[in-house]
Amino acid sequence: MTGLLVVTAVPAEAEAVRQGLADPTTVTVVPVGVGPAVAGAATARLLALAEAAGRPYQGVVSAGVAGGFPGRVPVGGTVLGDHSVAADLGAESPEGFLPVEELGMPAELLGAPSVLAADPTLLTRLRQRLPGATVGPVLTVSTVTGTVTSTAALVARHPTAVAEAMEGYAVAVAADQARLPFVELRTISNPIGPRDRAAWQLGTALTALTAAAAALGPTGDQAATPPGC
């Protein structure tokens, strides 16, 4: 059996995770690209190749930096997602945003619900190893929130959400389809709100990601090499 697959968006996040691993031989870290489409497709491919090679992964983590909701998690803080949410999957209406489940489609056509819970065992293990982490829903969006109006709308729809990123839900769907445990691990580079790219503290978030990666302990008994990569 191989170990844990950790999926990041960009190489800098992957390198930050690798630097913090206590035992890199049981954890595979792969940067797959930015956004839900490429993240979901690439993760599904990695999982399928590993299964076909007879070396399936034992769990999946979506890791990287994120925006944090002000007052809920500070810049440099660590977040564990107890749920990964497809925050913009649905439709606009005069009454406000409607999640995909409220569009009248039969449940069997949806493929997956718009909110996926983290695996309780994996989440508990990481909570024990990261006692200072903020735990709560992490939103997945295709467009990064950058205005006061859009931030207020997200807060109203997701009053307990702690962070926003662009890949977690898609990676969760791939893990769910493969019947594998999943959790989302994020560190905060900026507050969610009016976009100010110059104020993002990426270095701080990446340093925090390296520290948090130490919690990703061994889950398998053999080295986890990503098949087909």
C-beta of residue 182 within 8 angstroms of C-beta of residue 56: no
CA–CA separation, 172 vs 178, rounded Å? Answer: 10
Q: What confidence tens digit (pLDDT) does each residue in 58-70 have?
A: 999 999 999 999 9
Q: List the one residue out of 105, 63, 69 whose CA is nearest residue 87.
A: 69
One-letter identity of residue 18:
R
First to last CA, the chain: 18
Question: Other CB atoms closer than 10 Å to residue 121's CB: what's the count?
Answer: 11
Largest CA distance in the chain: 54
C-alpha to C-alpha distances, 109 to 89, 101, 134, 195, nearest whole angstrom: 14, 10, 34, 36
169 CB-contact burial (10 Å; exposed 0-12 / middle 13-18 / buried 19+): buried
Supply the pTM of this predicted model. Answer: 0.88
SS3 label, residue 213: helix
Q: List the one residue out of 79, 78, 40 whose CA is nearest residue 168.
A: 40
SS3 label, residue 70: coil
Average pLDDT value over all residues in the chain: 89
Q: What is the pLDDT of residue 199?
A: 81
Q: What confidence tens digit (pLDDT) does each residue in 202-218 have?
A: 999 999 999 999 999 76
Q: What is the CATH number of domain 4-213?
A: 3.40.50.1580
Q: What is the mean pLDDT of residues 91-99?
A: 77
